[in-house]
Structure 1
Amino acid sequence: MGKRIGKNQTLGEEISNAITHGITALTAIGGLIVLIVMAVQSDQKWSLFSALFYGSSLVLLYTFSTFYHSLTHKTAKRVFNILDHCGIFLLIAGTYTPVLLITIGGVTGWTFFAIQWGMALIGILLKIFFTGKYNTLSTALYAFMGWIVVFKINLVKSLLPEPAFWLLAAGGFSYTIGIVFYIIDYRMKYAHFIWHLFVMTGTVLHFIMMVMYIFKT
C-alpha cells in the first residue's frame, strides 16, 4: 500500500483525484463561456443571471477540488479542503438556479431559489466555523438539497421536456450513488476517485440538460 498523505489518500489516489477534477475545471470554464453566450442570445428572463450562478458554481467547485488534491502544504490543503466542501453546496444550489428561475419561475421558483441558497449558506457556514464536525449532517444536507425537487416533482415534470426531466433525474442519481463512495472513503482505496467520477457524470448529464433544454436561444 502506498504511503498515506493528507487525510487518507495515497499519492496515486491524490494524483487521480487532481487529474479528474483538473480536467473538469478546465472544461467548466469553457462551459461557463458557452452558457453566457447562450444566455445573451436568449430572450428568457433571468437567463444571464442563472448562467452566471450555475456556470460559476461549476468552475469554483472543480477548481477548489483540484487545488485541494494537488497541494501538499498542510495549511493550504486544509483551506482548500474547506473550500472544496463549500463548493459542493454552491454547485447544488447553482445547478438548481436555472431550473427554478427559468423553467419554473414565479413565486414558486423564487421561493425554492431562496430555500436552496439559504441551505447552501447554512452548509457553507457549517463547514467554515465547524470544520471537521457534523459531517453526517452536512452529507445529509447535500442529499436533501439535491433531491428537493421531489416536493414539486409533478410541476417540474410538466414544465420540462421528458428527456430533460430524465437527464435531471439521472444526474441526481449519479451524485447520490457517488455519495456512497464518499462515505466509505476511509475504508476503500480509490473510493474518492470513484466519487469524483460519479460527480463528473452527474455534472455532464445536467450540463447537457441545460444547453439542450433550459437555455433556449
Structure 2
Amino acid sequence: MNVDHKYLEELLNTISHGIAAIASILGFVILLNSISNHQIILISTLLYSFSLIILYTSSTLYHGVKNKKLKEIFRILDHCSIFILIAGTYTPIALISINGTTGWWIFAIQWSLVLIGSIFKFFFTGKYENTSLLIYIIMGWMIVLKWNILINSISTSALNLLIWGGIIYTTGIIFYVLDSRMKYSHFIWHLFVITGSTIHYIMIFKYVIN
C-alpha cells in the first residue's frame, strides 16, 4: 500500500511534538515540585516551562489541524514560539546563574528580541526565512559574548550540556532548511529540537534551579 509521504510526515510531526508537549507539562510539574519559593527562581521556572509548552503545543496544533485558516494562525504561533523558547531557556541562566546587572540585561535583550521577532513573523511568516534563521541563531548563541561571565557562573557539567544542546539545535536547522527538498526532513528537525530541549531541560533541572 502506497502512503503519501507528506501525509505521513505531518502525522509524524504531530505525534512527535504532541508527545513532547505532554512531556513538557509533566516536566513543568517536576520543576515546580523541585524549586524553592524564591521569587526569581519561581518566575524563571514559570517562563521557561511555559516557553516549552507553548512551542510544542503550537507546533502540534499547526501540524495537526486541517482547517486552512486555523493552520495559518498556528503556523504564525509555531514560528513565534521558537523565539519564545530561546528566551525562555535563557531566563533561568540569566536570572539565576548569572544574575546581577549582566543577567538582567541578557534577560531584557532576549525578550525584546522575542517581541521584535514575533512582530516580524506576524507580518512575514513564510517570507524572509533566512532572516528568521539568522535571528534564531543570534539569539541562541548570544551568550558567547559574555563567555567569561558564563564560565564563572555555571559548572563545567552545566556548560557542556548548554553547549551540546545549542549545537544540536543549530545542526537541526540544516534539516529545517531542507524541508521542501528532502523527505521527512522536517520530522528530523523535530527530533533535533526534542533532543536539544531535553538536554537543556536536564541542565536547568540539575544545575540551575536546584
Q: TM-score, normalised by structure 1?
A: 0.93
Distance 2:37 2:99 in 1: 16
SS in 2 for 1:38: coil
Q: Could you tell me how far apart the structure 2 residues matched to 1:143 and 1:62 are? A: 19
2:163 corresponds to 1:177: no
Contact 2:40 2:96 in 1 (8 A): yes
CA distance in 2, matches of 1:130, 1:184: 20
1:67 maps to 2:61: yes
Q: Is the contact made by 1:42 and 1:215 (CA closer than 8 Å) also made in structure 2?
A: no
Structure 2 unpaired stretches of 5+:
none
Q: What does residue 184 of structure 2 align with?
A: 190
CA distance in 2, matches of 1:36, 1:176: 29
Return the TM-score normalized by structure 2.
Answer: 0.96
Shift of 1:120: 1.1
CA distance in 2 between partners of 1:122 and 1:38 (Å): 33
Question: 2:17 is matched with which residue: 12, 15, 21?
Answer: 21
Which string of whole-angstrom CA distances, capped at 9 and with x for unpartnered residues, describes residues 37-88 of structure 1? 223x254x51000000000000000000001111111111111111100110
- Residue type of the alignment partner of 2:204: M
Between the aligned residues of both structures, percent identity stands at 49
Q: CA deviation at 1:133?
A: 2.0
Q: Secondary structure at the match of 1:123?
A: helix
Structure 1 residues without counterparts, runs of 5 or longer = 4-8
Matched, 1:86 2:98: no
Q: Tell me which residue corresponds to 1:165.
A: 159
Match of 2:96 among 99, 102, 109: 102
Q: What is the alpha-carbon root mean square deviation over aligned residues?
A: 1.3
Q: Which 4+ stretches in 1 moved above 3 angstroms? A: none
Q: Which residue of 1 aligns with 2:144?
A: 150
CA contact (8 A) 2:165 2:196 kept: yes
- What is the match of residue 201 of structure 2? 207
Equivalent position of 1:49 in the other structure: 43
